[in-house]
Amino acid sequence: MPHFLSSDTTAIHFEDQGAGQPVVFLHGWSLSSSVWRAQLQALSSRYRCLAPDLRGHGRSAAPDDGYALENLVSDLAGLVEHLDIRRATVVGWSLGAMVALAAFPELRERLSSLVLVSGTAKFSAAPDYPCALSPKEPRVLGLRLKRDREKAYEEFFNGMFPDEERALINSERIAGEFLGNAPKPPCHAAARSLETLAAADLRDSLQGVDVPVLLVHGSGDPICPVDAARFMAKRLPRATLKVLDGAGHAPMLTRAAELNALLNDFLERIHEST
């Protein structure tokens, strides 16, 4: 399995499929690169699709510490430089969207565009930022992790879907197509990554993102409310927002065909213009 050593010698696993202009997929908290299976299958006939496991997640190593946003950014930069990737589109989902935004200043010369799926510039609500969950939510999830890790993961996963979506999802399909066989993160990695997610605030960085950005968000997202995407769309200089009516937090599973079509159209426009 391909991997590289990050700047602090953490082994980072990544998937590498197809050939052509590079597209780098970043998954979210507690999951792995397996979440992008449908996208890699659909796009790798035209693009080189790369999907790393964030440190502590999937098949990447889980060091005792080093889960701050700057560590995740360093890992992404290390992958891009290790493979000498240029003119890449980075597709980030949830926590992965935050990593993509945070990495932008460092990777600007190697990027052509960003796609933020179910993303937010700030995960926790504040008096001047109501379009997010209460700060109590990640704290409660952290306590659940300590009590029963497997149950906490299950509750978080099920909480990504509004009721109308949950009724349509077959549990075997979730295991086979979305979660795959990747191991779940150990408790220390999940807890520290969750702390990073809860504390991050990237609102002030949005105006500096000067490449095209596609925002894809479900109108029924219970984890990152759709107003978070609207907030970013108003502040990113070259943003396009696509709202999927009724979709929850994981459109790569519940709306795979629609998401793949949006990605294809966006990538075609990006590369036709260069």
SS3 263: helix
Average pLDDT of every residue of the chain: 93
Domain total in the chain: 1
The count of C-alpha atoms lying within 13 angstroms of the C-alpha of 269, restricted to the half-sphere facing its C-beta, is: 12
pLDDT at 183 over 90: no
Closest C-alpha to 139, from 120, 152, 121: 152
Could you give the CA distance from residue 58 to residue 61 in angstroms, rounded to a whole number? 8
Average pLDDT of the residues in 102-131: 97
Cβ neighbours of residue 146 closer than 8 Å, sequence gap 6 or more: 187, 191
Residues 6+ apart with CB under 8 A from 10: 55, 60, 61, 63, 66, 75
Residue burial 63-99, b: 16+ Cβ < 10 Å; e: rest:
beebbebebbbbbbbbbbeebebeebbbbbbbbbbbb
Q: What is the pLDDT of residue 217?
A: 98
* pLDDT value, residue 177: 57
Beta bridge mates, 214 = 115, 240
Structural domain boundaries enclosing 235:
3-272
94 included as an active-site residue = yes
DSSP string, 48-93: EEEEEPPTTSTTS---SS--SHHHHHHHHHHHHHHTT--SEEEEEE
Q: CB of 249 within 8 A of CB of 224? A: yes
**Is residue 86 pLDDT above 60, yes or no?**
yes
> By C-alpha distance, which of 60, 85, 88, 87 is closest to 72?
60
Choice among 6, 34, 94, 113 that is catalytic? 94
The amino acid occupying position 184 is K
Mean pLDDT, residues 204-232: 97
Residue 59: the pLDDT is 95
The whole-number average pLDDT for the span 97-106 is 98
Please confirm, yes or no, whether 188 is among the known catalytic residues: no
The model's confidence at residue 28, banded by pLDDT at 50, 70 and 90, is very high
DSSP 223-258: SS-HHHHHHHHHHSTTEEEEEETT--S-HHHHTHHH
pTM for this entry: 0.96
Confidence of residue 273 (pLDDT cuts 50, 70, 90): low
Let me know if 221 is a catalytic residue.
Answer: yes
pLDDT above 90 for 181: no
Contacts of 216 by beta carbon, 8 Å cutoff, 6+ apart: 115, 116, 117, 118, 242, 244, 251, 259, 262
If pLDDT is split at 50, 70 and 90, which confidence band does 271 have? confident
Q: Which of 152, 142, 144 is nearest to 192 (CA)?
A: 142
Average pLDDT over residues 73-83: 97
Q: For position 258, which CATH number holds?
A: 3.40.50.1820
Distance CA 69, CA 130 (A): 22
Pairing of strands 48-52, 11-17: antiparallel
Give the model's confidence band at 170: pLDDT under 50 very low, under 70 low, under 90 confident, else very high. Answer: low
pLDDT at 158: 85
pLDDT of residue 164: 81
Token code pair at residue 5: 């050593």
Q: What is the pLDDT of residues 119-129, one digit of tens each?
A: 999 999 999 99
Structure tokens at 210: 């000067």
Q: What region does 86 belong to: left with phi over 0, alpha with psi -120 to 50, or beta?
A: beta
